[in-house]
């Protein structure tokens, strides 16, 4: 099977997944988002590079962003449109383009989860300083500001005063502020990785004196066996956005109820792999094969 991985060559996750695919005798090509081309015309659609156009399945292992803010919106829109066009032509894509679009956008993903009856933190998105102050007040005068597009804990800020809320949106700059109620927690949250019908879990324990539980921000992974209801909640969350592979972040409230804080459509599993006994990349390869309709040689119809 020919597999095209959209992502950056040399990264830990890309290398791990590529190695697991090659152990199953699959051909792997790693393609940067910037190499993606698409054409339309009377003869139909065309895509490049060749390894992407000739793949049996595309695996997205990096978000379709761009480093320069001036080009970011156009780049993201084109890249997601091209991925959607490929899927419409019958190309299996993991995760499906619509699932990626939902997961990339924190507001949209929470809206979809809420519609599916999944418990989430109270969240508001505002576009001016006065609205930011009102939102901060509505959320209990203690909230977290996050980039609406972002991951790995980058750009998180705890907002505990009206002045801090107003400063999120200076009048001359415009923009938006995504505000989420601050949930007092016991110093840890849970990441459940959903891979098809399998799940892998860990507890993420915040660094001393920090409320953030991102591994990239100093939190440490610990083995964790979640209650069945938590696992079911993670599976429902992945299904709600249409993701085949997803990282679901659950935060326990003071009374022990879990809230789904985020859904990651291109989840990392470096920290998770260090505390689970199963080879996560191998499980992903099995799901990629299933999604692509691949049967190992020697198997029946």
Q: Which domains does the chain show, CATH number per domain?
A: 2-94 (3.40.50.20), 103-119+184-288 (3.30.470.20), 123-181 (3.30.1490.20)
Structure tokens at 6: 């959209």
pTM of the model: 0.90
Tokens 């679009």 sit on residue: 101
> What's the start-to-end Cα distance of the chain, in Å?
17
Of the pLDDT bands very low, low, confident and very high (cuts 50, 70, 90), residue 156 is confident
What's the sign of the alpha-carbon dihedral 129, 118, 148, 210? positive
Of the pLDDT bands very low, low, confident and very high (cuts 50, 70, 90), residue 185 is confident
The better pLDDT of the pair 150, 75 is held by: 75
**Pairwise CA distance, residues 30 & 9, whole Å:** 6
Mean pLDDT across 170-198? 88
**How far is C-alpha 193 from the geometric centre of its chain's CA atoms?**
11
Find all residues with CB under 8 Å of 170, minimum gap 6, and list them: 129
Q: What percent of the chain has pLDDT over 90?
A: 74
**How far is C-alpha 103 from the geometric centre of its chain's CA atoms?**
5
- β strands within the chain, DSSP E: 2-6, 27-31, 37-39, 46-48, 57-60, 93-94, 123-126, 143-146, 157-159, 177-181, 188-195, 198-205, 220-223, 245-252, 258-264
Mean pLDDT across 189-218? 88
What's the sign of the alpha-carbon dihedral 67, 78, 38, 289? positive
Q: What is residue 46's three-state secondary structure?
A: strand
226 CB-side CA count, 13 A: 28
Among residues 157, 134, 289, which one has the least CA distance to residue 210?
157
pLDDT tens per residue across span 256-296: 899 999 999 999 999 999 999 899 999 999 999 999 886 55
Cα–Cα separations (whole angstroms), residue 29 to 47, 61, 132, 154, 288? 15, 12, 45, 29, 15
Q: Taking 50 as the threshold, does the pLDDT of residue 209 lie above it?
A: yes
H helix or E strand, kind and range, residue 107: helix 106-115
Q: Taking 80 as the threshold, does the pLDDT of residue 243 lie above it?
A: yes
**Pairwise CA distance, residues 174 & 267, whole Å:** 31
H helix or E strand, kind and range, residue 86: helix 69-88
**Pairwise CA distance, residues 270 & 84, whole Å:** 28
Find all residues with CB under 8 Å of 93, minimum gap 6, and list them: 57, 58, 59, 60, 83, 86, 87
Among residues 276, 279, 272, 153, which one has the least CA distance to residue 221?
272
Q: What is residue 168's three-state secondary structure?
A: coil
Of the pLDDT bands very low, low, confident and very high (cuts 50, 70, 90), residue 301 is very low
- Kindly calculate the radius of gyration of the chain based on its CA atoms and give it in whole angstroms: 20
Of the listed ranges 86-100, 109-123, 135-149, 202-216, the one predicted with least confidence: 202-216
Q: What is the pLDDT of residue 299?
A: 43
């Amino acid at each position: 099977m020919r597999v095209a991985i959209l992502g950056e060559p040399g990264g830990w996750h890309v290398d791990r997944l590529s190695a697991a695919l090659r152990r199953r005798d699959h051909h792997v090509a790693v393609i940067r988002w910037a190499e993606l081309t698409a054409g339309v015309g009377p003869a139909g659609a065309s895509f490049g590079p060749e390894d992407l156009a000739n793949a049996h399945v595309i695996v997205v292992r990096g978000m379709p962003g761009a480093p320069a803010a001036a080009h970011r919106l156009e780049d993201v829109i084109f890249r997601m449109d091209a991925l959607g066009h490929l899927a419409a032509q019958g190309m299996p894509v993991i995760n499906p383009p619509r699932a990626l679009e939902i997961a990339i956008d924190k507001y949209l993903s929470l809206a979809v989860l809420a519609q599916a009856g999944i418990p989430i933190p109270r969240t508001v998105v505002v576009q001016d300083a006065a609205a930011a102050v009102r939102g901060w007040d509505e959320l209990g005068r203690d909230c977290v500001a996050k980039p609406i597009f972002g991951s790995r804990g980058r750009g998180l800020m705890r907002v505990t005063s009206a002045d801090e809320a107003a400063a999120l949106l200076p009048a001359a700059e415009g923009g938006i502020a995504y505000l989420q109620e601050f949930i007092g927690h016991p110093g840890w949250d849970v990441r459940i990785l959903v891979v098809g019908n399998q799940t892998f879990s860990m507890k993420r324990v915040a660094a001393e004196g920090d409320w953030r539980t991102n591994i990239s921000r100093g939190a440490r992974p610990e083995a964790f066996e979640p209650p069945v209801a938590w696992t079911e909640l993670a599976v429902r969350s992945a299904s709600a956005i249409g993701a085949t592979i997803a990282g679901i972040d659950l935060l326990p409230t003071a009374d022990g109820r879990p809230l789904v804080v985020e859904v990651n459509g291109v989840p990392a599993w470096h920290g998770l792999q260090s505390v689970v006994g199963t080879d996560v990349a191998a499980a992903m390869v099995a799901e990629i094969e299933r999604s692509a309709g691949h049967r190992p040689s020697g198997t029946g119809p």
